[in-house]
Homo-oligomer: A and B are copies of this chain.
Amino acid sequence: MTPRKSVETELSRERIMDTARSLFVKEGYQSVSMRKIAKELDYTHGAIYYHFENKAELFYALVKEDFSLLDGVLEKILRQDFGEREKLRKILLGFIEFGLTHPNHYEIMFLTRDEDVQSHLKKGPDQSYELFAHAIYELCGRKVNMKTIWSIFLSIHGFAAVYCRSGQTYEDVSDLAESHVSLLLKAIDM
- Which A residues lie at the B interface, using CB under 8 A? 28, 30-31, 107, 111, 113-115, 147-148, 150-159, 161-162, 165, 176, 179-180, 183-184, 186-188
Chain B hits for A147, CB < 8 A: 176, 179
Find chain B residues with CB under 8 A from A151 CB: 155, 159, 179-180, 183-184
A to B CB contacts below 8 Å, 30 in the list: A28-B113, A30-B30, A30-B114, A107-B113, A111-B111, A111-B113, A147-B179, A148-B183, A151-B155, A151-B159, A151-B179, A151-B180, A151-B184, A153-B158, A154-B155, A154-B158, A154-B162, A155-B155, A155-B159, A155-B184, A156-B158, A157-B158, A157-B161, A157-B162, A158-B159, A158-B161, A183-B187, A183-B188, A184-B187, A186-B187
- Find chain B residues with CB under 8 A from A176 CB: 147, 150
* Main DSSP-derived SS at the A contact region: helix
Count identical subunits in the complex. Answer: 2
Residues of chain B with a CB closer than 8 A to A158's CB: 153-159, 161
Extra A-B contacts (4), CB below 8 Å, given A151-B183, A153-B158: A151-B179, A155-B158, A155-B159, A183-B188
Taking CB atoms, residues of chain B closer than 8 Å to A188 are: 183
Q: Nearest CB to that of A189 among chain B residues?
A: B186
CA distance A107 to B186 in the complex (A): 30
Check if B179 sits within 8 Å of A113, measured CB to CB: no
Q: How far is the CA of A108 from the CA of B186 in the complex (A)?
A: 33
Q: Which of A147, A153, A154, A183 is packed against the most chain B CB atoms within 10 Å?
A: A154
